[in-house]
Amino acid sequence: MARLPATRISKQRANRLRERFILLQTDAAPGPDPIDFVLRYADPADREVAGLFASGLAFGRVASFWPVLDTLFTQADKRGGPAAWVDSFNQDDADVLQPLFYRWVRGPDLARFARTIGRLRSEYGSIGHLFLLHHRSSDPDIGSALGAVIDAFRAASIEHAEQSFSSLPRGYRYFLPHPSSGSACKRWCMLLRWMVRPQAPDVGQWELPPDKLIIPLDTHIHRIAGFVGLTRRKDGSWKTAREITQNLKKMDPSDPVRFDFILAHLGISGHCKGRRIEQICTPCSLLPVCKTGQAG
């Protein structure tokens, strides 16, 4: 099969999409979102740790991972909040997490992730500082820094000399995908959006440039991006995420992921069915720029 050329939208098309996305932002009322767990806390250290867990488990149905996060943060709060909890994580904490699970992530995986975050916070002060150490102004995007941070997390995950990262359980390894493997690293890109962008609903506490962010590419964003012409790529890869982001930069060069939240919730809510349905598509703000909504 011949490779499709890269999708590069025109400035005129970008302006039209931007108008429609702003309308969608005005009209929509998003439901529960994992960033709600971050917003429970006022302290930046607690927000950072909460973000790592909330984004790490943000896959599948919101209703399915929500109770797991609720239980996890209830335990963290008993120990003084998420930051204090990971900084002094002990066997009693691990025992509380033991029965928890979400799909292939088990309680021991959550405990290892807490210990790893605690080790890195002890060494670097914060995960935000770790990102700053690896970010270079000459980098085209956050990809290089993200890869270096994932490497640091993987190294800090090893607790015995005979272990290697590849020998750790699948559920734990799922927390730490790497852009060099082709993964879109959706959950890490979402965490970066939360922590870098200063506009609501994000908290903007990491001093990294928002224009270097990459869209958190999940099935919802990928599908809608295809409908409105931001990509023709069929794979949910880092390359696809970069291509979509480059086109979004034509709408807002300084803040390319500003529409991620609202576009993702269009899919998460189930409002967009992925096919032409008159009563759904006709009132949708994206109809004039959506090839699927206009079909038939």
pLDDT tens, 235-289? 999 999 999 999 999 999 999 999 999 999 887 877 788 888 888 888 889 999 9
pLDDT confidence of 3, banded at 50, 70, 90? low
Indicate the SS3 state at residue 188. Answer: helix
pLDDT at residue 181 tops 70:
yes
Question: How far is the CA of 7 from the CAs of 103, 228, 242, 248, in angstroms?
Answer: 35, 11, 11, 11
Q: Which of 13, 27, 44, 43 is nearest to 284 (CA)?
A: 27
pLDDT at residue 1 tops 50:
no
When mean pLDDT is compared across 82-91, 194-203, 269-278, the lowest value belongs to 269-278
What pLDDT sits at residue 275?
Answer: 86
Q: Give residue-wise pLDDT tens across range 115-145.
A: 999 999 999 999 999 999 999 999 999 999 9
pLDDT at residue 53 tops 60:
yes
Residue 204 has a CB neighbour count (10 Å cut-off) of: 15
Please check whether residue 208 is in contact with residue 135, taking contact to mean a CB–CB distance below 8 angstroms. Answer: yes
Query: What length does the chain have?
Result: 296
Whole-angstrom distance, CA of residue 106 vs CA of residue 117: 17
Average pLDDT score over the chain = 94
What pLDDT sits at residue 211?
Answer: 97
Whole-angstrom distance, CA of residue 130 vs CA of residue 146: 10
pLDDT at residue 48 tops 80:
yes
pLDDT confidence of 294, banded at 50, 70, 90? confident
What pLDDT sits at residue 280?
Answer: 85
SS (H, E, C) the chain: CCCCCCCCCCHHHHHHHHHHHHHHHHHCCCCCCCHHHHCCCCCHHHHHHHHHHHHHCCCCCHHHHHHHHHHHHHHHHHCCCHHHHHHCCCHHHHHHHCCCEECCEEHHHHHHHHHHHHHHHHHHCCHHHHHHHHCCCCCCCCHHHHHHHHHHHHHHCCCCCCCCHHHCCHHHHCCCCCHHHCECCHHHHHHHHHHHCCCCCCCCCCCCCHHHCCCCCCHHHHHHHHHCCCCCCCCCEHHHHHHHHHHHHCCCCCCCCCCHHHHHHHHHCCCCCCCCCHHHHCCCCCHHHCHHHHCC
Q: Give residue-wise pLDDT tens across range 88-119.
A: 999 999 999 999 999 999 999 999 999 999 99
Alpha helix segments (H runs only) across 39-88: 44-56, 62-78, 82-87
Contacts of 215 (CB under 8 A, 6+ apart): 189, 221, 241, 244, 245, 248, 256, 257, 260
pLDDT at residue 2 tops 80:
no
What pLDDT sits at residue 296?
Answer: 56
What is the percent of the chain where pLDDT is above 70? 98
